[in-house]
Amino acid sequence: MKRVIYAGSEFVTGDEIASALLVCSQALAEAGEAQTVSVPSREADGSVGTVMVLIGPASQIVAMDAHGDGEELLDAAAVARLDAIARSLRPIAGIDPDIPDQTDWDSEV
């Protein structure tokens, strides 16, 4: 579990969720954009709640280990949403493996 400290408050969430939140925050900062996201959190009584976080270029987020008796908080859908935001801001160029190698750059086509 991770304790996430942000904007003077803190919440506890799962390791994968915290990692995805930080990656998403970095991608938004690099793009100069901001977005509000919801992430699950472990409440003091052990129940699961939700935290809404505004992340963007000015976000200063810290995630550190949180020790407790509760189970690791997992939420594949929340991680997928955060990952999708990060991926949309960091497009990947594809390479076509079927294009022939053109090593003779001086010849006319």
User: 36 lies in a domain?
Assistant: yes
User: 44 lies in a domain?
Assistant: yes
Question: Where does 1-109 have alpha helices with state H?
Answer: 15-31, 76-89
pLDDT for the residue 104: 60
| Closest residue by Cα to residue 69 from 12, 5, 26 | 12
pTM of the model: 0.80
Strands 61-65 and 48-55: unpaired
User: 103 lies in a domain?
Assistant: no
DSSP β-bridge partners for residue 25: none
User: 49 lies in a domain?
Assistant: yes
Domain count, the chain: 1
DSSP β-bridge partners for residue 5: 10, 62
User: 94 lies in a domain?
Assistant: no
Burial of 89 (0-12, 13-18, 19+ CB in 10 A): middle
> pLDDT tens for residues 9-37?
999 999 999 999 999 999 999 999 999 99
pLDDT for the residue 30: 92
